[in-house]
Amino acid sequence: MDNDPSGTVIGLVAPRFGHEVIGGAEAVVAEAAAGLASRGYEVEILTTCALDHFTWQNHYPAGEHQWGKVTVRRFPCVMDTGGKHRDRIGKRILLGDTPSITEQQIWMNDSLRVPEMWHYLLRHHQRYRALIYAPYMFWTTFAVSQISPATSVIMPCLHDEPPAYLDLFRPMIEGARGVWFLTEPEASLADRIFAVPRRNKVVGAGVDWVEPGDYRPDRFRQEFGIEGPYLYYAGRREWGKGWNELLDAFAELARYYSTDMQLVTSGVGELGAPDDLRDRVIDVGFISAELRNDAMAGASAYVQPSKLESFSRTVLEAWMAGTMVVANGGSEVVGWHVERSEAGLLYRSHAQLVQAMRFVVDNPEAARRIARPGRHYVQTHYQWDAVLDRMVDTIEEWFPMKTEATPAPLVDAHPSPVPADETDGITA
């Protein structure tokens, strides 16, 4: 294949996309796509038809549609292998075992696959000046990015977790034309694991600017009938994001300390609140960005219980809203944000989380003082104009345009998906 890009389109590839989709990497892809289109690039998002990342059922219609200035191409998910090998091998991976490379390939292919996306880019990758893939641990990045490494940029959204150390991902990262990182700690982690290509850049990500007067916490309270003080968590309620640990700590706070503090959460996933706390743990479900901002502004503190963070935009959104953050110090990225901003408290155990919550309950004015540097930190480091400048700089440097470059003709070809044998390796 050619060593230099010949197309003109900037493509961003993600496993999910849509206004109902909750996920940090997916949000960064959507906002980067809109931002690059506003800078004059021809931009496409290539994604699946899935909404839910547990079942990967096809929810959105396949095909092409417009999202503002961005073309969205959706391809159907295929889940036809049963998943028993992924479960078995995945448990070994999480326990620190290193399966053989064949087993790693089986693990990757015994789940979500998107054959029509693979075949589409096999035929049409020359239309694209650059293809940006995120996050690292999905078939849409692992398999599809290796069709044309010369046009691939990996935005891994890397966490310090056992799968990151698998040999399976080395060719994907090390063979790409470039790598985008969201934070310095993520780049340092990648350097410890991979031979990172010389073309790499901490481009970061942005948080939409909200003027102080645009926050309306009373609107959020009225919408959901919330009275009194509350802690807030926004995102996916699942074990990997620390939701159970947060729920356990709040249960101890509510049962054994005299407080009327509530725990309010928005997002997706099972609530799992014990019976005696159902009136104190309030799920407002999926809400708009405006209501989420209002919820942030009205909270006594925002709690980030996840260790697996490569950027943690909700922490930055809380600081934008003037709210203190209580965060899991086991996340190198979140710890780095908190230490640089001096706008939050870190915990490293169940007992420390309970004590941090008690501090918020007992010292509301002190919590508000701690939060004050946060907004300046976000304004200084995480505005989209600066992020887009860095993205554009890398695109222009890594993918110089050929003279009179034109997109390759787009042929309307949709080959049938190729079924995967459960013992095969890389399967399209």
158 and 293, same domain (yes or no)? no
Model confidence at 22: pLDDT above 50: yes
Answer left, alpha or beta for residue 277, where phi above 0 means left and psi between -120 and 50 means alpha: alpha
Model confidence at 107: pLDDT above 50: yes
Q: Is 410 within the bounds of a domain? A: no
198 and 220, same domain (yes or no)? no
Q: Name the β-bridge partners of 180.
A: 201
Give the lowest-confidence range in 148-152, 296-300, 309-313, 408-412. Answer: 408-412
Structure confidence at residue 208 as a pLDDT band (50, 70, 90):
confident
Q: Is 420 within the bounds of a domain? A: no
Q: Is 240 within the bounds of a domain? A: yes
261 and 165, same domain (yes or no)? no
Residues contacting 387, CB < 8 A, separation 6+: 32, 35, 203, 204, 205, 206
**Domains identified in the chain, total number:** 2
Q: Is 406 within the bounds of a domain? A: no
Percent of the chain with pLDDT over 90: 78
Q: Is 415 within the bounds of a domain? A: no
Parent domain of 237: 212-381
Structure confidence at residue 263 as a pLDDT band (50, 70, 90):
very high
Using CA atoms in the order 115, 121, 122, 125, what is the torsion angle rounded to 10 degrees?
-170
Tens digits of residue pLDDT in 56-86: 999 999 999 999 999 999 999 999 888 899 9
374 and 391, same domain (yes or no)? no
For the residues 363-370, what does the mean pLDDT come to?
96
Under 8 Å between Cβ of 117 and 75: yes
249 and 111, same domain (yes or no)? no
Which pLDDT belongs to residue 413?
38
For the residues 136-158, what does the mean pLDDT come to?
96
Q: Is 2 within the bounds of a domain? A: no
State the burial class of residue 215 (Cβ atoms within 10 Å of its Cβ: 0-12, 13-18, 19+): buried
Task: Enter the tokens of residue 373.
Answer: 């540097």
- Could you give the CA distance from residue 99 to residue 93 in angstroms, rounded to a whole number? 7
Model confidence at 272: pLDDT above 90: no
Which pLDDT belongs to residue 5?
56
125 and 181, same domain (yes or no)? yes
Which pLDDT belongs to residue 404?
53
Which pLDDT belongs to residue 267?
86
- Could you give the CA distance from residue 377 to residue 341 in angstroms, rounded to a whole number? 6
Structure confidence at residue 20 as a pLDDT band (50, 70, 90):
confident
Model confidence at 414: pLDDT above 50: no
Model confidence at 405: pLDDT above 70: no
For the residues 313-341, what does the mean pLDDT come to?
95
Task: Enter the tokens of residue 189.
Answer: 């982690």
Model confidence at 402: pLDDT above 70: yes
Q: Is 408 within the bounds of a domain? A: no
Q: Is 266 within the bounds of a domain? A: yes
For the residues 92-107, what does the mean pLDDT come to?
93
179 and 140, same domain (yes or no)? yes
150 and 257, same domain (yes or no)? no
Structure confidence at residue 407 as a pLDDT band (50, 70, 90):
low
Which pLDDT belongs to residue 428?
40
288 and 188, same domain (yes or no)? no
Which pLDDT belongs to residue 403?
59
The predicted model scores a pTM of: 0.82
Element (H, E) at 332: helix 332-341
CATH number of the domain residue 66 falls in:
3.40.50.2000
Structure confidence at residue 422 as a pLDDT band (50, 70, 90):
very low
139 and 13, same domain (yes or no)? yes
Q: Name the β-bridge partners of 52.
A: none
Q: Edge-to-edge strands of the sheet including 262-268? A: 281-285, 262-268, 230-236, 301-304, 325-328, 344-347
Say how many residues make up the chain.
Answer: 428
- Could you give the CA distance from residue 175 to residue 304 in angstroms, rounded to a whole number? 34
171 and 62, same domain (yes or no)? yes
169 and 318, same domain (yes or no)? no
Supply the mean pLDDT for the chain: 90
Higher pLDDT, 410 or 422: 410
Structure confidence at residue 27 as a pLDDT band (50, 70, 90):
confident
Structure confidence at residue 416 as a pLDDT band (50, 70, 90):
very low
Which pLDDT belongs to residue 6?
67
Nearest alpha-carbon partner for 232 in 288, 289, 290, 283: 283
Which pLDDT belongs to residue 426?
34
Which pLDDT belongs to residue 417?
34
Tens digits of residue pLDDT in 215-254: 999 999 999 999 999 999 998 888 888 999 999 999 999 9
Task: Enter the tokens of residue 346.
Answer: 């870190």
